[in-house]
Amino acid sequence: MPELPEVETTRRGIAPHIVGRQVLALNIYNSALRWPVPAELPARVSGQRLLAVERRAKYLMFKFATGSALIHLGMSGSLRLAEPSAPRRTHDHLEWQFSADLLLRYHDPRRFGCCLWSSGDHPQLAALGPEPLSPAFDGERLWQRSRRRTLAVKAFIMDNATVVGVGNIYATEALYRAGIRPDRAAGSISRQRYQRLATEIKAVLAAAIEQGGTTLRDFVNGNGEPGYFAQQLCAYGRAGEACLGCRGPLRELRIGQRSSVFCPRCQR
């Protein structure tokens, strides 16, 4: 599914083209997403000028003077810029028209995403932890929140109450680079090692954003282009292959019903 780097890549790709423009129309072709698209949404946004496109965790917010639309890409969603002459595809469920020659289409084969409206705060954002690339997130926070916690450290850093946006791919990579086994109890890890882990989380996410995200199935950015961070993956998806450090075989286990690849020699 699109993770934080993919969502941020999408935001950076579409914002320069649509921010400051007036919404001429919003067409809903299928409202049956994870939560139904509000029937009144077209009337809420039509004629309004889009003031900003912001990201919080894996959500995008289209900010208007009277409120904001909250968009989540779900498992398979994408937002693509298009010209009106481009044929609409089967799973193009929403279509924002910003000018006579510019559309933004929301495409989602699995329909696990959402597009919701609020004139105030969105309740979906209320319990979220800090952004991983912000000063509010560091190793001290991880260490303090992990005390007496027995769940696996990978599950701990993937919890949005701990820090947002560290999904399966980037948690696997950060733990590999920090030399920490993904199944270690969160409360058993030292302050120093959490400082290293926080540094690696920031580095992995920043590098993935720079490379346009990780394309493993069908993620593309706002211009229909794939991300290239998959070429830099050290652990994720490499079970049975040689560790880039010790050259021993990488192993796979399941944590919280998710695949976790690690090196039994380099990670402890």
Q: What SS3 state is found at 79?
A: strand
Q: Is 95 a catalytic residue?
A: no
Given the residues 58, 154, 177, 193, the one annotated as active site:
58
Annotated catalytic residue, options 2, 5, 132, 182:
2
Q: Does the annotation place 110 within a ligand binding site? A: yes
What value, to the nearest 5°, has the Cα angle with vertex 113 and ends 6 and 96? 85
Distance CA 72, CA 82 (A): 19
Q: Are strands 67-72 and 114-118 parallel, antiparallel or unpaired?
A: antiparallel
Please say if 2 is a catalytic residue.
yes
Please confirm, yes or no, whether 58 is among the known catalytic residues. yes
User: How far apart are alpha carbons 173 and 235 in whole angstroms?
Assistant: 6
Q: What's the CA gap between 117 and 37, in Å, rounded?
A: 9
- Calpha distance 20→45 (Å, rounded): 13
Alpha-carbon dihedral 193, 196, 201, 207, rounded to 10 degrees: -150
Q: Does the annotation place 12 within a ligand binding site?
A: no
Q: Does the annotation mark 3 as catalytic?
A: yes
As a 3-state breakdown, the chain gives helix, strand, coil percent values, each rounded to 5, of 30, 25, 50
Instruction: Pick the catalytic residue from 141, 202, 258, 265.
Output: 258
Amino acid at 152: A
Instruction: Please return the burial class of 144, using the count of CB atoms within 10 Å of its CB with bins 0-12, 13-18 and 19+.
Output: exposed
Q: Say which of 3, 8, 173, 200 is annotated catalytic.
A: 3
Tally of CB atoms within 10 A around 15: 18
Q: Which residues belong to the annotated binding site for DNA?
A: 91, 110, 149
Q: Which residues belong to the annotated binding site?
A: 91, 110, 149
Q: What residues are labeled active site?
A: 2-3, 58, 258
